[in-house]
Amino acid sequence: MDVFIIGITGGIGGLLAQRLCSRGDAVHGLVRREDQRAELATRGMDARVGDLSVMTVDQLAAAFGDVDVIVFSAGSNGGSRDITTAIDGDGVVKAIEAARFAGVERFVLVSVLPESWRERDLGEEVEYYFAVKKGADVAVSRSDLNWLILRPSLLLDGPGTGTVSLGPAELHGEITRDDVAATLAELLHEPRIGRQILELDEGSTPIQEAVRANVRS
């Protein structure tokens, strides 16, 4: 499988890239600096240098090339409104258009559980971040692509457990980026899952089993 990851140097994207490479998949991605491209090349990954916020649809489509699936895991993590709009909002819309132009049908978006951080007093920037993420989910779900939206709980670092809770609706808890990446890798290798929104939390079900349970009959 040929996979293009937008956000390949991020917490989830980087872990996903490693897992896919270990499975023998061809991994491509978008980076902002030449030194990042060179470092990924030493690990057998092909990256294109470009800035998602300023690239045109044509330029992004050319970067995608002839891949099987695009994974959008980039994000501003609730930073300034300008960055959130450019990456989490406009960036997703641009990637959808570029995928269509490049003839890539499968598109996977790593989003966020809408309930995340609701126990906290959120500032305006973070509230704006959640609103933009929701808008991106809507844009993906209304596209004509074979899309999948994955909404993980509060993200943690550290080793994963290999077990999760995955389904159309999950309670908001927490989950390691490692388990998110492992779940993504399994979802990418399950072509029967498509045009679905899945939420992901810590749980007791082995990842492969959890993914299979979400295949529609």
Question: Terminus-to-terminus CA distance in the chain, angstroms?
Answer: 24
For residue 51, the number of C-alpha atoms closer than 13 Å in the C-beta half-sphere is: 4
Asked if residue 27 lies in contact with residue 21, where contact means CB atoms within 8 angstroms, the answer is: yes
Among residues 129, 147, 166, 186, the one annotated as catalytic is 129
State CA 73 to chain mean position distance: 3
C-alpha span between 83 and 49 (Å, rounded):
19
C-alpha span between 211 and 205 (Å, rounded):
9
Sign of the C-alpha dihedral computed for residues 27, 8, 197 and 55 taken in this order: negative
> Is 129 designated active site?
yes
Asked if residue 102 lies in contact with residue 55, where contact means CB atoms within 8 angstroms, the answer is: no
Q: Which residues are catalytic?
A: 129
